[in-house]
Chain A
Amino acid sequence: MSVNVRIPTQLRTLTGGAGEVAVEGTTVGEALKSLDATYAGFAERIFDEQGALRRFVNVFLADEDVRFLEGLATPVADGQTLSIVPAVAGG
């Protein structure tokens, strides 16, 4: 499955400035791990020591917060868009 991942400003140094990249994976977690495999450094930025998403990182699949889905185990379909967004915003 090819998944598009939207990258926030804070992490674009890892993608050579690209705001959107394509990776492979059948779940949200797999796609993010494959992102780290291609662009080293993502894992330590978005995952905590236990391998869960950091408290202040939100991930959206097709604009839906994955915490309302199945978290990192949420299946992804070919061509869907994942978005990594800093959680500290709003209010």
Chain B
Amino acid sequence: MDFVSGLRCRECGRAYPAEALHVCDYCFGPLEVTYDYEAVAATMTRERVAAGPRSIWRYADLLPVYDPAPVDLGAGFTPLVRADRLAAELGLGELWIKDDTANPTGSFKDRVVSVALTKARQLGFKIAACASTGNLANSVAAHAARAGMDSVVLIPHDLESAKVTMTSVYGGRVFAVEGSYDDVNRLCAELTSEQPTWAFVNVNVRTYYAEGSKTLAFEVGEQLGWQAPDHVVVPIGSGSQLTKVAKGFEELWKVGLLDEEPHVRVSGAQAVGCSPVATAFAEGTDTIRPVRPDTIAKSLAIGNPADGFYALGTIRSSGGACASVTDDEVIEGIKLLARTEGIFAETAGGVTIATLAKLAAEGVVRADERVVALVTGHGLKTVEALSGSVGPTATIAPTLEAFDEALGD
């Protein structure tokens, strides 16, 4: 069984049943899953979690759907890596990388999709759909194939080639839309009214889908020995992941799994070419002005972030910060993480690491804090971004002489 007590509008508080709803019928505010936390607390113990599968489903008691055989490719329970060499470069103390490149389709999206399609199947949907900047497309196509569902994926036409291939290979329908992600998103939001039998994971199933991101916080808490970090750095696309990571730490405390009450500062990372949340943070306003994205960090290129307002609120109330970095800094961030820790991140990971470096240099992220940076997607998805900035040391003839000459010294 699940412990869901219903859905509630974050804006006006109206209550709804746990059905395929994502916004309040009255004010259009987002719906949030509510749980019977007392019942969860009475059931969910550290031992119960430890005995669970090595995936997000070990935290099923705090997920919005229960199914003994979920739609699952093994998402989650990814490594939390102590990053001493990177910490030394950045002048930090205890730094950890949550390495979500290790997910089945190479990004954190497997967490949210596994939850969304398990719930969608329970609600009776036969077709899985989404609007995506690429990572979600990969994951929806793969999980739909795994579940025997048809899939319909809409992406901007100019995505990285690996993301297009990784989506198309699973045999679903893929529509490359001549427009930005925000155009694709608007189209999908309209399509949900016309195709009510399709489960658009990040539109009409979004309420459940978004909950999957809490598992990042659950895992970090468990992997740190049931302690919360002092500071997490999270990339911002729609802003949903950031708010759910904060919610995840709060829930761990609420159901009694942490020894001490968490006070996690949550900081956000954006690319300068798409920084509506960082801009609002810098200007001290709570109005998120939409932008037209222009950055190599395409997985974060959402000019009109659905949860930007709440992400900003979480950042401010937690004592975190939000900063943005240039595309050159993103590439340097990717290379720095690879060189110091052996982890190859996609451009969004470069945004996170470069922002972490910036906030560390500014003294916002401090050396006396236990810091976790979320690296949410694999570098093989965005190799185009590195073209011209990394490559072979030399190209040589297959002879000792040529090698010696190229080796120099």
Chain A interfacial positions (CB closer than 8 Å to B): 6-10, 12, 19, 45-46, 54-58, 60, 63, 65, 67-68, 83, 85-91
Q: Shortest CB–CB separation between residue A6 and chain B, in angstroms? A: 7
The listed residue (A10, A12, A55, A85) touching B190 by CB distance below 8 A is A85
Residue of B nearest to A7 (CB): B193
Given contacts A65-B182, A89-B203, contact A56 B23 (CB under 8 A): yes
Contact B28 A91 (CB under 8 A): no
User: Chain A contacts of B309 at CB under 8 A?
Assistant: 55
Contact A89 B239 (CB under 8 A): no
Give bound CA distance, A8 to B196, whole Å. 11
The listed residue (A19, A45, A58) touching B193 by CB distance below 8 A is A19
Give bound CA distance, A90 to B26, whole Å. 20
Give bound CA distance, A86 to B306, whole Å. 10
Residue of A nearest to B292 (CB): A68
User: Chain A contacts of B11 at CB under 8 A?
Assistant: 55-56
User: Chain B contacts of A10 at CB under 8 A?
Assistant: 23, 25, 28
The listed residue (B193, B237, B304) touching A87 by CB distance below 8 A is B304
Residue of A nearest to B25 (CB): A10
User: Chain A contacts of B30 at CB under 8 A?
Assistant: 56, 88
Contact B26 A89 (CB under 8 A): no
Q: Shortest CB–CB separation between residue A19 and chain B, in angstroms? A: 6
Given contacts A58-B186, A86-B189, A91-B302, contact A68 B28 (CB under 8 A): no
Q: Interface residue tally of chain B, by bracket?
A: 35 or more
Residue of A nearest to B300 (CB): A91
Tell me whether B188 is interfacial, beta carbon within 8 Å.
yes
Chain B interfacial positions (CB closer than 8 Å to A): 11, 22-23, 25-30, 131, 181-183, 185-186, 188-190, 192-194, 196, 200, 202-203, 206, 237-240, 289-290, 292, 302, 304-307, 309
User: Chain A contacts of B188 at CB under 8 A?
Assistant: 89-90
Could you list 15 examples of A-B contacts with CB < 8 Å?
Answer: A9-B192, A9-B196, A10-B23, A19-B193, A55-B29, A67-B289, A85-B186, A86-B189, A88-B30, A89-B202, A89-B203, A90-B131, A90-B182, A90-B203, A91-B305
User: Chain A contacts of B192 at CB under 8 A?
Assistant: 9, 89
* Those 10 A-B pairs whose CB atoms lie nearest each other, nearest first: A91-B238, A90-B185, A56-B28, A88-B30, A89-B189, A9-B193, A86-B23, A89-B203, A85-B189, A88-B306
User: Chain B contacts of A63 at CB under 8 A?
Assistant: 183, 186
Contact B29 A56 (CB under 8 A): yes
Most B CB atoms within 10 A — which of A55, A63, A87, A88?
A88
Contact B190 A91 (CB under 8 A): no
Contact A89 B29 (CB under 8 A): no
Q: Shortest CB–CB separation between residue A30 and chain B, in angstroms? A: 21
